[in-house]
Structure 1
Amino acid sequence: MAAGLLTIVAAGWLWLNQPLPLRDGQPVDYAVEQGSSPRAIARGWVDAGVETDDWLLYQWFRWSGQSRQMRAGSYELSPGSSARDLLRMMVRGDERLATVRLIEGWTFSQWRMELARAEGLKPTTAGLSSADIMSLLGRPGLAAEGRFFPDTYAYAKGSTDLAVMRRALQAMDQRLTDAWSQRTPGVPLRSMDEALILASIVEKETGTDADRAMVAGVFSNRLRIGMRLQTDPTVIYGLGDRFDGNLRKVHLLTDTPYNTYTRAGLPPTPIAMPGKASLLAAVRPAPTRAMYFVARGDGTSVFSQTLAEHNQAVNRYQRQQARRTP
């Protein structure tokens, strides 16, 4: 009898500590739902690909005294892991995290496409309009564009795209509030919303950190005197799906709420998701007399105080770009 008991104990000890066999030798993903019983969790792991007896797994959970400490979450069991490792992972809540990177300058439509492609992220907003999504996020009537902070977000498999959006929305709220608190006295912006709109334009006008404050300085100078911003990215945004990649003169002359060639002041909403550097540039523009700028073609810009200087710069750099174009 004693020998038989020792054999059972030894077999149990071996089972607890040896690697659990996994289907095809591959990692097994399993999402433990809130409120799941230990028996359901054991069965779920076996159904997911852990090739062992679910009754044994359930008995181990009970015998350990930690069955009520297992946390809901999305987990990945790697090859070589034992039953002890499996329980420890769920008790600690060591979830397997995936990441999605949302880029500065992307539009909300681009963000939605990236979230739809993200690994293990439930597309709960598929088919919803931007307005519907903002209502679900508690911001009814607020345009979605520009309201989400570009960053890399980690999440557990099985999380929803709406949950990631909520985190990005809250992050932008905080970043925008922080930037607004650092604004330069006399900046020609009446609200945080206007700062966000200008930051989105700065984000689209330059990818060079050294130029952001100068670009914001030019736009601030224009806003002060009521001069039109005349910035191509707003026109392109207003064209929407009609833009084919080639901005033509007729586009600059066609009025839309976003055409800053035909309308003075800022457009009605942001045109993209600005990053931290653009937010700070918008509220802390460079003290400059420049009223114009033109891209050199290498990511940087040339700034001019007068229209004559600007035209010279345009002619010079447009010719250079034409020579580089095959």
Structure 2
Amino acid sequence: MRVFKVLLMLVVVAVAAGVVGFRYWQAQLLSPLAIEKEQIFEVPRGASLTKVVSDLEAEGIIEASWPYKVWARLEPTAVNGLRAGEFRLTPGLNGRELVALLSSDEVVSYTLTVPEGWTFAQLRTAINVAPKLEHATQEMSTADLMTAIGAGDEKPEGRFFPDTYRYHKGVSDISLFKRAHKRMAITLEEVWANRDQGLPISSAYEALILASLIERETGAPEERGEIAGVFKRRLERGMRLQTDPTVIYGLGDDYDGSLSRADLRKPTPWNTYVITGLPPTPIAMPGRAALEAAVHPKPGDTYYFVAKGEGRHQFSRTLREHNNAVRRYILNRD
């Protein structure tokens, strides 16, 4: 009987110790962590739970790593889904919430805004200096970059959709190029499928080229359709488009901020004062509104326009009206 009482007492003690230990373990996981202000913690790609909790302990975010290792043994599916990336840790977070966060999609994200009207060169520059990206394309030639994103021998100008793109640390810049390229391809396909009939352009690529001219010509959204209408009528009559942005694009690094008469006469493949019809490639990245304008030009009888300030234009039906407008808005201003 005495032995039985001793054994019973040992069992009671063991159970009590187990209960106390279990409660202590749970308390460790449920107590607020030592986070006094918001901070960023990164889970490296391929890191094990042991590595992550050791890093957390070393940074003083958690008091000890053993409760998490015990949790991993008891509930492996609950803690083995850690995701690589940066996470924003905030005061009041407890251990269980921490693991849930590090296993979630709530990675810290960054944004890259690509404005409408940018060139491919401007896009590459922006991506090359974007923080937290893996810059895999920085030393690539244009041809190699287009091959890397699966675009084959496409000319890059105009092929990327201007928008704001989100990404997280460690993402390859190739993925950003791919997303912007795919977005433009899808948008262009949708717009071209719903085009007006009887347009003086015969392919989606020509629509892309025309949209880039419209994008670069006006900063006033309500003018896009009218600009497109002028270009449509000029193309139908075989008139040269005579749009300054094509001259600037053709000059490249030789453009010094102003256009001279000699510049307007300088032969380049893009100079629409010299060539008839559309240039061989887009001159910028058009947004959806410019694409829509290119395939839904505004009806009218104007054939000319001149900048009158603040990104707006004066439209004219005849050359005489246009010359008068030029004197009014350009020559008098000079």
**Which letter maps to 1:259?**
N
Q: 1:201 to 1:61 in 2, by over 3 A?
A: farther
State the Cα deviation string for residues 220-259 of structure 1 (Å, max 9, x = none). 1111122111111111111111212122222111111111
Q: 1:247 to 1:319 in 2, by over 3 A?
A: closer
Aligned match for 1:301, one of 313, 320, 323 = 313
Residue in 2 aligned with 1:233? 245
**Which letter maps to 1:13?**
Q
Residue in 1 aligned with 2:7? none
Check conservation: 1:134, 1:142, Cα contact below 8 A. yes
Aligned match for 2:323, one of 298, 308, 311 = 311
Distance 1:200 1:29 in 2: 43
Check conservation: 2:134, 2:172, Cα contact below 8 A. yes
Asked if 1:127 is matched to 2:129, the reply is no
Check conservation: 1:120, 1:158, Cα contact below 8 A. yes
Residue in 1 aligned with 2:8? none
Q: 1:51 to 1:223 in 2, by over 3 A?
A: same
Distance 1:193 1:238 in 2: 19
* 1:38-49 alignment, distance < 5 Å: 38-43=49-54, 45=56
Q: Secondary structure at the match of 2:103?
A: helix
Check conservation: 2:71, 2:79, Cα contact below 8 A. no
State the Cα deviation string for residues 257-314 of structure 1 (Å, max 9, x = none). 1111111111111111100100000011111221110111022211111111000011
Distance 1:49 1:262 in 2: 69
**Mean alpha-carbon deviation: is it higher for 277-286 or for 250-259?**
250-259
Check conservation: 1:28, 1:76, Cα contact below 8 A. yes
Give 1:316 deviation, angstroms. Answer: 0.6
Give 1:28 deviation, angstroms. Answer: 2.2
Q: Secondary structure at the match of 2:233?
A: helix
**Which letter maps to 1:120?**
K
Residue in 2 aligned with 1:253? 265
Residue ranges of structure 1 left out of the alignment (5+ in a row) = none
Residue in 2 aligned with 1:150? 162
Residue in 1 aligned with 2:292? 280
Q: 1:62 to 1:219 in 2, by over 3 A?
A: farther
Asked if 1:70 is matched to 2:93, the reply is no
Check conservation: 2:87, 2:101, Cα contact below 8 A. no
* 1:112-123 alignment, distance < 5 Å: 112-123=124-135
Give 1:178 deviation, angstroms. Answer: 0.9
Give 1:191 deviation, angstroms. Answer: 0.6
| TM-score of the superposed pair, with normalisation by structure 1 | 0.90
* 1:256-267 alignment, distance < 5 Å: 256-267=268-279
Check conservation: 1:30, 1:44, Cα contact below 8 A. no
Distance 1:20 1:118 in 2: 33
State the Cα deviation string for residues 177-211 of structure 1 (Å, max 9, x = none). 11101111111111111000110110000011110
Distance 2:59 2:132 in 1: 15
Q: Secondary structure at the match of 1:100?
A: strand
Check conservation: 1:73, 1:156, Cα contact below 8 A. no
Give 1:43 deviation, angstroms. Answer: 4.0
Residue in 2 aligned with 1:92? 104
Check conservation: 1:15, 1:83, Cα contact below 8 A. yes
Q: 1:73 to 1:253 in 2, by over 3 A?
A: same
**Which letter maps to 2:196?**
T
Distance 1:296 1:263 in 2: 25
**Which letter maps to 2:218?**
T
State the Cα deviation string for residues 160-179 of structure 1 (Å, max 9, x = none). 21111111111101110111
Q: 1:69 to 1:51 in 2, by over 3 A?
A: closer
**Mean alpha-carbon deviation: is it higher for 46-55 or for 152-161?**
46-55
Residue in 2 aligned with 1:178? 190
Residue in 2 aligned with 1:79? 90
Q: 1:47 to 1:304 in 2, by over 3 A?
A: farther
**Which letter maps to 1:281?**
A
Asked if 1:189 is matched to 2:196, the reply is no
Asked if 1:20 is matched to 2:33, the reply is yes
Q: 1:93 to 1:186 in 2, by over 3 A?
A: same
Residue in 1 aligned with 2:227? 215
Alignment length, in residue pairs? Answer: 320
| TM-score of the superposed pair, with normalisation by structure 2 | 0.88
**Identity rate of aligned residues, in percent?**
40
Name the Cα RMSD after superposition. Answer: 2.2
Check conservation: 2:29, 2:67, Cα contact below 8 A. no
Give 1:319 deviation, angstroms. Answer: 4.5
Q: 1:160 to 1:205 in 2, by over 3 A?
A: same
Aligned match for 1:57, one of 68, 72, 80 = 68
Distance 1:71 1:56 in 2: 16
